[in-house]
Amino acid sequence: MRLSVLGCILMACLTAACVTTREELIEKKRHGAMEDWRSQGAAYRSSEGFQDARWGMRVEEVRELFPDGKMLNENAMRWKSTIADLPAVVTFAFLKGRFVAVDVFFPDAGNVRDAHLLIRRLLNRKFGTPVHDRDTADEAQRRVGSYRSAADTVYALGKLTESLTGVHQEQYAQQRIDVRAENDEAEARRQARSASKRFVLLSRWATVESDVKLRSVKTPGIDAVVIEYESARYAAELVAARQRTKELELQRMTKGL
């Protein structure tokens, strides 16, 4: 049992190291490519984007590719379609007239977890293994029993100390450890049950020119599956746009005070 636990820990560490190395390599390549991207100026067109649209395209170019799209304002266009056999609402985002990001929202995904796994498999075929995966329900489930393991570890430590020193371990102290462990484990089980009804799934991919996130959320009244694509070339501009949006939102809220 100990060997299998150690093996799992070792595999997790190796996987984390591989992912970190891959992310660092991508970041290094991006840094090297940024000067070339900027030197292209208005002529920049990525080899990536969404379907036939490429990062850096002008609004007019993207509209030609999606003639059924509807402009929401100068920075956004909405297009409805069917993607992965699911109804989808696609929002194209533009900064200074250039295509920089897109969200694909699936309003009728059905079973959120099944939809996430299906879309994840499809994105794996295009982008390879995710650099990040998170499942809050699994995290809660893994916590079940972890407190008992901690108590067992403390108990084993006491047993070893007792055998080495000849000093008998205090029975009452062990009972306190067990009670605390039982309470903590009960709480962990409660969290795991809750997580089956409320959870977040997140898978993230990274290439030299794009960041892609598949985010799925389930809470009472909300079932959402969204793919977010962002251009690496315009990452700094997107950060600034988000900050500016927050500031404007705070200004709007302040007016009512």
Give every residue of the chain whose pLDDT is below 70, as ranges: 1-20, 137-197
Q: Is the pTM of this model over 0.85?
A: no
- Can you give the chain as a three-state secondary structure string? CHHHHHHHHHHHHHHHHHHHHHHHHHHHHHHHHHHHHHHHHHHCCCCCEECCEECCCEHHHHHHHCCCCEEEECCEEEEEEEECCEEEEEEEEEECCEEEEEEEEECCCCCHHHHHHHHHHHHHHHHCCCCEEEEHHHHHHHHCCHHHHHHHHHHHHHHHHHHHHCCCCCHHHHHHHHHHHHHHHHHHHHHHHHHCCCEEEEEEEECCCEEEEEEEEEECCEEEEEEEEEECCCHHHHHHHHHHHHHHHHHHHHCCC
Give the pLDDT confidence score for residue 164 in this predicted structure: 61
Give the pLDDT confidence score for residue 37 in this predicted structure: 87
Give the pLDDT confidence score for residue 149 in this predicted structure: 43
Write out pLDDT tens, residues 90-132. 999 999 999 999 999 999 888 888 999 999 999 999 999 999 8
